Amino acid sequence: MSWLFGLNKGQSGAPPDAPVPPAPPPPAGGSGSGDKPKDKWSNFDPTGLERAAQAAKELDQSRHAKEALDLARMQEQSVQLEHQSRVKEYEAAVEQLKGDQIRIQAEERRKTLNEETKQHQARAQYQDKLARQRYDDQLRQQQLLNDENLRKQEESVQKQEAMRKATIEHEMELRHKNEMLRVEAESKARARVERENADIILLTETEDCVCVVCVCVCVCVCVCVCVFSRLLLFVDEADAFLRKRSSVSLTLPHCERISEDLRATLNAFLYRTGEQSNKFMLVLASNQPEQFDWAINDRIDEIVNFMLPGLEERERLVRLYFDRYVLEPATGGRQRLKLAQFDYGLKCSEIAKRVEGMSGREISKLAVAWQAAAYSSEDGVLTEAMIDARVDDAVRQHQQKMDWLHGEGVLDNEGRPTPTKGSAPPLKAQEVLRPLQEVPSDRSKPDGTPV
């Protein structure tokens, strides 16, 4: 079969019908071990080998011998590739098995950590429980000691009180009768005044929780309308709990979603203020009216806009706070503050022109800064230069605040809100509520009080 390896490709082989040479005689066997090979090959049929040799000779003489060899090689390569793919599959299965083992180990470790955490928590809770029990026992023991001491003190003064009791008992009885008569008369008079006069109740934001304020407002409206004859309810910073019920807004895309408690409170408030009433009037104050819910805007009858103080208002405010924080401490009391000689009226007018754009609160803080500058000086004298320096600082700080607002996209050059990138421009309160004001309604009836 040398033609399979390309060794006798150019040589001419034996003719197809050439006889096959006989097999060589078997070698001389030994003594006892030669019987076994003889038995093994005794029944062997060489016909198959002869046919294979004959076919190999014919294939070697054929012109397609090279193609047959290439085909055999390709088949061998295919078998090798198949074996390699099986090896890769086995390796992938091994890697997957390793990954599963790692995952199982990590899962077991996580479960172990969870169990350890639970055990630590249970131990800590048990220790805390024991500490609380010990503390409660100490408190009970201390209370018992206090009760015992108190009982002894009461027993010590009981004899003295028994002697005084007979003397003051009649006096207390008369005093109690007089007090009851006075309380009854005052209650009747107060009830009569409350029924006859219009009641004005001022509610201030003394609670930290917004929901508590909302509930108080709703309860106040319901109870006062039922009990009293008239009610004027003023709510400052009303946008804190009357804001929009949805977080999607064109003018305020960044507003947060309100809680369910606040939503329920707002719905109750809207339910109580849905119809016109001549029993109460609701006044809402807010720095951001665009945050009101549309149902609240629909209930508003009249809008009063308070702009920043103008030149005349600023001059009046400057003079007012200058008198309160500078002139009064300098002329009255201990006179620990002294004021230099200059034209105070002219200086107030000049300051009013320089503080354009400031609010009344900023002007009041500026006056307090003048007073602090005088107290912190060496001689306690407030000079014109010190006033100008504080005014310059206040103007610079105000400009810095405006720059911060401009940087956040909150205000424009005229102090109006500007939209952020990708959002619609905000509307003014008048533009938001103008359609509601133009629509004719029966809220202007004489018997109805505007909300």
Q: What CA–CA distance (Å, rounded) separates 277 from 226?
A: 12
Q: Is residue 107 part of a domain?
A: no
Q: Is residue 51 part of a domain?
A: no
Q: Are residues 213 and 287 in the same domain?
A: yes
Q: Are residues 332 and 285 in the same domain?
A: no
Count of structural domains, the chain:
2
Q: What CA–CA distance (Å, rounded) separates 338 from 342?
A: 12
Q: CATH number of the domain at 340, please.
A: 1.10.8.60
Closest by CA position to 303, among listed 290, 321, 317: 290
Closest by CA position to 306, among listed 442, 429, 128: 429
The whole-number pLDDT of residue 347 equals 92
Tokens of 322: 């200058």
CB 325 within 8 A of CB 317: no
The whole-number pLDDT of residue 218 equals 58
Q: What CA–CA distance (Å, rounded) separates 325 from 286?
A: 29
Close Cβ partners of 117 (under 8 Å, ≥ 6 residues apart):
none
Extract the residue ranges of the chain whose pLDDT is less than 50. Answer: 1-21, 28-35, 198-208, 249-250, 252, 409-415, 417, 419-430, 432-451
Tokens of 381: 């004298």
Query: Residue 435: which domain range?
Result: 201-300+431-444
Q: Is residue 316 part of a domain?
A: yes
Supply φ then ψ for residue 228, to 5 degrees: -95, 170
Q: Are residues 211 and 261 in the same domain?
A: yes
Q: Is residue 231 part of a domain?
A: yes
Q: Are residues 378 and 412 in the same domain?
A: yes
Q: Are residues 237 and 378 in the same domain?
A: no
